Amino acid sequence: MTAELLEVSGLRTEFVTGGGVIRAVDGIDLKISRGETLGIVGESGCGKSITSLSIMQLLPKKIGRIAAGEIRFKGEDLVRKSARDIRRVRGNRMAMIFQEPMTSLNPVIRIGRQVAESARYHLKIGRKEAELLSIEMLRKVGISRPEQIVKQYPHELSGGMRQRVMIAMAMVCKPELLIADEPTTALDVTIQAQILDLMRELQQEEGTAILMITHDLGVVAEMCDRVVVMYAGQVVEETDVRTLFRSPQHPYTQGLLDSLPQLSEGRERLASIPGQVPNPLELPPGCRFAPRCPVKMRQCEESAPELLSTESGHQCRCFLRQMEKEAVGS
């Protein structure tokens, strides 16, 4: 059995549209070990959420497809499993917290039944036992009066409570991997901190690995062990979280970090990255970040750089860094 809990290799996810085929995820590799938190960061449209939906096998069937690559969970390739086998894994050994709980929860089904549904299916327990388990899980995620909450509907709860319900639903079967797609985006700062603390506590108790999808570098700094930076469907940098903040290598990563608010003298405006993520149907011929890059060279506009790794395992997709590495080596 592989030492990695999840290992994604050469994943390419495509969508068939009227304008052509969109390659939303283009050959990414990533690994997550047991008990580890891996963050995936980048702007909207970079492929973060599509990566998570690909892993969970939740792509829209009519237009979305995994065109190439492997998604190995505990050594077994999920891409080649049947829909029936995937249902046995999803929600049981592997679960997901979605970005907006109000659209993820069923508005006409009581909270208790929604939390219990996964447990009844995967754990093969009765209705009464599942109801007690629902109450226990809601109490575990910090919801007071869980005996009353199980009888309520999603619209009767606050945003923070709905997100706690989503976490309870995801954790009810004690999954080995939890995928969290922007779990705190719609919450205020105080509730956001509580949700992150809750996820950290549950991870420590159960040893769960977490794949954190976010655009918030503050969340990355607080929660993650390693970070993958994505841009236009590709991984452009990967390293441990401390190295990323202390010594970012890719110009895109540097731009993201420079855009963070800082309490420094002489800085009146927030820095920003000029331009926007390219249209996936009209990608640049060379480096995909070249049109926005402040240090681009002619080579960047003509050919695409590879993702190269240093001896320490720091990976970067940039010609400038490759030239620096070659200069040091010579």
Give me the DSSP letters along 246-260: HS--SHHHHHHHHTS
What confidence category does residue 185 fall into, taking pLDDT thresholds of 50, 70 and 90? confident
What confidence category does residue 328 fall into, taking pLDDT thresholds of 50, 70 and 90? low
* Run of H or E residues at 107: none
What confidence category does residue 1 fall into, taking pLDDT thresholds of 50, 70 and 90? very low
Burial 242-252 (b: 16+ CB within 10 A, else e): ebbbeebbbbb
Is pLDDT of 324 > 70? yes
Q: What is the mean pLDDT of residues 32-50?
A: 94
Is pLDDT of 184 > 90? no
What confidence category does residue 3 fall into, taking pLDDT thresholds of 50, 70 and 90? low
Question: pLDDT, tens digit, for every residue of 77-96?
Answer: 999 999 999 999 998 999 99
3-class DSSP string for 33-56: CCCCEEEEECCCCCCHHHHHHHHH
pTM of the entire predicted model? 0.91
What confidence category does residue 61 fall into, taking pLDDT thresholds of 50, 70 and 90? confident
DSSP string, 125-169: --HHHHHHHHHHHHHHTT-SSHHHHTTS-GGGS-HHHHHHHHHHH
* Run of H or E residues at 63: none
Structure confidence at residue 268 (pLDDT): 64
What confidence category does residue 330 fall into, taking pLDDT thresholds of 50, 70 and 90? low
Residue 52 near residue 238, CB atoms below 8 Å: no
Structure confidence at residue 2 (pLDDT): 45
Is pLDDT of 235 > 60? yes
Burial 213-240 (b: 16+ CB within 10 A, else e): bbbbbebbebbbbbbbbbbbbbbbbbbe
Q: What is the mean pLDDT of residues 149-153?
A: 95
Structure confidence at residue 40 (pLDDT): 97
Structure confidence at residue 189 (pLDDT): 83
Is pLDDT of 312 > 80? no
Structure confidence at residue 71 (pLDDT): 97
Residue 187 near residue 160, CB atoms below 8 Å: yes
Q: What is the mean pLDDT of residues 299-322?
A: 90
Identify which has the larger pLDDT, 216 or 187. Answer: 216
What confidence category does residue 253 fall into, taking pLDDT thresholds of 50, 70 and 90? very high
- Residue ranges per domain, the chain? 6-224, 250-260+283-329
DSSP string, 268-311: -S----SS-PPPTTS--SS-TTGGG-TT--HHHHHSPPP-EE-T
Is pLDDT of 131 > 80? yes
Identify which has the larger pLDDT, 240 or 312. Answer: 240
> Distance (Å, rounded) from C-alpha 141 to C-alpha 132?
15
Structure confidence at residue 236 (pLDDT): 97
Q: What is the mean pLDDT of residues 311-316?
A: 86
Second-level CATH architecture of 6-224: 3-Layer(aba) Sandwich (3.40)
Structure confidence at residue 57 (pLDDT): 94
For the chain, the first-to-last Cα distance in angstroms comes to: 40
> Distance (Å, rounded) from C-alpha 250 to C-alpha 291?
14
Q: What is the mean pLDDT of residues 265-283?
A: 81
Supply the mean pLDDT for the chain: 90
What confidence category does residue 103 fall into, taking pLDDT thresholds of 50, 70 and 90? confident
Structure confidence at residue 301 (pLDDT): 93
